[in-house]
Amino acid sequence: MTLRHLNIFLAVCDAGNMTAAAEKLHIAQPSVSQAIAELEMHYGIRLFERLGRKLFITHAGQKLSTYARHILNLMREAEEAMHEIHDRGVIRVGASVTVGTCILPQLIKKFAAGNAAAKVISTVNNTKIVEDMILLDQVDLGLVEGRIHSPGIVVKPFMEDELVLVTAPAHVFANARRVDVRNLEHMEFLVREEGSGTRELFETALAERGISWKIAGVYNNAEAIKDAVAEGVAITVMSKMAVQKEVQRKDLAAVSIEGVNLSRHFSIVHHKNKFISPLLNRFIQLCLTL
């Protein structure tokens, strides 16, 4: 028994005969007769009494017609609901801290301008937590600055970024155009928590050059690190994009580090088995135009 059988059955109920039902459905009359016969065989009961050239619906047929109309109405509602999701759906986005602070608010605003009926629910945390949320299907999409380690996640770069040395304006490095990485030996840094993409890149890059350094503090908040650096507590390394405003106000100084590669890409990430709906695809394409 299929939805086609039910459609044909209701057409016969409404038309009162198979010929008129066939004309309404634009199919051959033998196809209508076959569908009704298959239904009756499936349920093992007569749905119509055939008296001469007239059809009379049986009690069983009347009962089935009630269910059939309900089933087909639900199917139409499901179709309408699924089509509405194209424009009225919800997108769950997880962003790492730098992306969530510097890019995501403007991205959501721009997306909302062209998709007024859609809703974006955002979560900001470090890259590792966003990665875990994708694996647990707690977010549909991630926008991260760090490396993704799970082979089950698709990674698409969408924007370039660079880490810079950030100091207080009075620091000895503040007025330098660039600082050689060897000058960072044994210096104290304020760093993000484990799982941060910024911290992972910084640690890996300095380890590859054999540079040892010290942790002066661990913060899970980029704004707290900037405040502490501005007060001269220690220095840090973070996204050039993340300190633009403070550098312009001369609250902080940002200096390039020479002799080590601290460039990276922000990435769009999602589970390899994730269904990319038209709405989600529009959000992804917007990211790729940045």
Regions of the chain where pLDDT drops below 50: none
Architecture in CATH for domain 88-158+266-288: 3-Layer(aba) Sandwich (3.40)
Q: Which CATH number fits domain 3-86: 1.10.10.10, 2.60.40.1180, 1.10.620.20, 3.30.70.20?
A: 1.10.10.10
> pLDDT, tens digit, for every residue of 200-227?
999 999 999 999 999 999 998 899 999 9
Fold of 161-263: D-Maltodextrin-Binding Protein; domain 2 (3.40.190)
pTM above 0.85, yes or no: no
Residue 169 pLDDT:
97
Written as one string, the DSSP assignment of the chain is --HHHHHHHHHHHHHSSHHHHHHHHTS-HHHHHHHHHHHHHHHTS-SEEEETTEEEE-HHHHHHHHHHHHHHHHHHHHHHHHHHHHHH-EEEEEE-HHHHHHTHHHHHHHHHHH-TT-EEEEEE--HHHHHHHHHTTS-SEEEESS----TTEEEEEEEEEEEEEEE-TTSTTTT-SEEEGGGGTT-EEEEEPTT-HHHHHHHHHHHHTT---EEEEEES-HHHHHHHHHTTS-BEEEEGGGGHHHHHTTSSEEEEEETS--EEEEEEEEETT----HHHHHHHHHHHT-
